[in-house]
Amino acid sequence: MDQRVSDTREQIVEGLRQIVPAEVAVTGTTHIMRDLNLDSLAVMDFMLTLEDRFDIVISLDKVAEVETLDDLVTVVEQLRARKLKS
Protein backbone atom coordinates (compact mmCIF):
# COMPACT_ATOMS: atom_id res chain seq x y z
CA MET A 1 0.00 0.00 0.00
CA ASP A 2 2.64 2.56 1.09
CA GLN A 3 4.76 1.48 -1.80
CA ARG A 4 1.94 2.29 -4.18
CA VAL A 5 1.24 5.68 -2.58
CA SER A 6 4.85 6.68 -2.95
CA ASP A 7 4.78 5.44 -6.53
CA THR A 8 1.69 7.58 -7.18
CA ARG A 9 3.38 10.64 -5.75
CA GLU A 10 6.55 10.02 -7.71
CA GLN A 11 4.72 9.69 -10.99
CA ILE A 12 2.62 12.84 -10.39
CA VAL A 13 5.73 14.86 -9.55
CA GLU A 14 7.45 13.48 -12.63
CA GLY A 15 4.45 14.62 -14.72
CA LEU A 16 4.45 18.08 -13.15
CA ARG A 17 8.17 18.38 -13.81
CA GLN A 18 7.40 18.25 -17.50
CA ILE A 19 5.19 21.34 -17.38
CA VAL A 20 6.85 23.56 -14.76
CA PRO A 21 10.36 25.06 -14.82
CA ALA A 22 13.07 22.93 -13.15
CA GLU A 23 13.89 25.57 -10.51
CA VAL A 24 10.36 25.58 -9.07
CA ALA A 25 10.13 23.43 -5.94
CA VAL A 26 7.37 20.83 -5.79
CA THR A 27 6.48 19.53 -2.33
CA GLY A 28 3.40 18.04 -0.69
CA THR A 29 2.08 21.45 0.33
CA THR A 30 2.75 23.08 -3.03
CA HIS A 31 -0.43 24.82 -4.20
CA ILE A 32 -0.78 23.54 -7.74
CA MET A 33 -2.31 26.57 -9.44
CA ARG A 34 -0.80 29.39 -7.37
CA ASP A 35 2.71 28.10 -6.65
CA LEU A 36 3.27 26.45 -10.01
CA ASN A 37 1.67 29.33 -11.91
CA LEU A 38 -0.72 27.07 -13.83
CA ASP A 39 -4.11 28.31 -15.01
CA SER A 40 -7.26 26.22 -14.65
CA LEU A 41 -6.98 24.99 -18.21
CA ALA A 42 -3.40 23.80 -17.75
CA VAL A 43 -4.46 21.93 -14.61
CA MET A 44 -7.35 20.26 -16.43
CA ASP A 45 -5.03 19.25 -19.26
CA PHE A 46 -2.56 17.84 -16.75
CA MET A 47 -5.39 15.73 -15.34
CA LEU A 48 -5.86 14.19 -18.80
CA THR A 49 -2.27 12.99 -18.71
CA LEU A 50 -2.70 11.59 -15.18
CA GLU A 51 -5.85 9.75 -16.27
CA ASP A 52 -3.84 8.07 -19.02
CA ARG A 53 -0.82 7.40 -16.84
CA PHE A 54 -2.87 5.62 -14.15
CA ASP A 55 -5.72 4.40 -16.38
CA ILE A 56 -8.34 6.06 -14.18
CA VAL A 57 -11.16 8.59 -14.58
CA ILE A 58 -10.74 11.89 -12.71
CA SER A 59 -14.06 13.72 -12.99
CA LEU A 60 -14.13 17.52 -12.86
CA ASP A 61 -15.65 17.62 -9.36
CA LYS A 62 -12.65 15.62 -8.12
CA VAL A 63 -10.34 18.15 -9.81
CA ALA A 64 -12.18 20.91 -7.94
CA GLU A 65 -11.24 19.28 -4.60
CA VAL A 66 -7.55 19.53 -5.37
CA GLU A 67 -5.47 22.43 -4.13
CA THR A 68 -2.11 20.99 -3.12
CA LEU A 69 0.06 18.16 -4.37
CA ASP A 70 -0.94 16.12 -1.29
CA ASP A 71 -4.63 16.59 -2.23
CA LEU A 72 -3.91 15.37 -5.73
CA VAL A 73 -1.99 12.32 -4.51
CA THR A 74 -4.92 11.45 -2.23
CA VAL A 75 -7.48 11.73 -5.04
CA VAL A 76 -5.42 9.71 -7.50
CA GLU A 77 -4.62 7.11 -4.86
CA GLN A 78 -8.31 6.66 -3.99
CA LEU A 79 -9.17 6.23 -7.66
CA ARG A 80 -6.36 3.72 -8.18
CA ALA A 81 -7.45 1.73 -5.13
CA ARG A 82 -11.04 1.73 -6.35
CA LYS A 83 -9.95 0.47 -9.72
CA LEU A 84 -7.97 -2.40 -8.17
CA LYS A 85 -11.00 -3.42 -6.12
CA SER A 86 -13.36 -3.49 -9.09
Interacting residue ranges for another protein, rule: CB under 8 A? 39-42, 44-45, 47-48, 51-52, 55-61, 86
Q: Which CB atom, from 2 or from 55, has the smaller least distance to another protein?
A: 55
| DSSP 8-class letter at 24 | S
CB of 62 to another protein, least distance (A): 9
Q: Which CB atom, from 24 or from 48, has the smaller least distance to another protein?
A: 48
Q: Which CB atom, from 22 or from 60, has the smaller least distance to another protein?
A: 60
- CA dist 62 and 68 (Å) reads 13
Which residues make Cβ contacts (< 8 Å) with residue 46, sequence separation at least 6? 15, 16, 19, 38
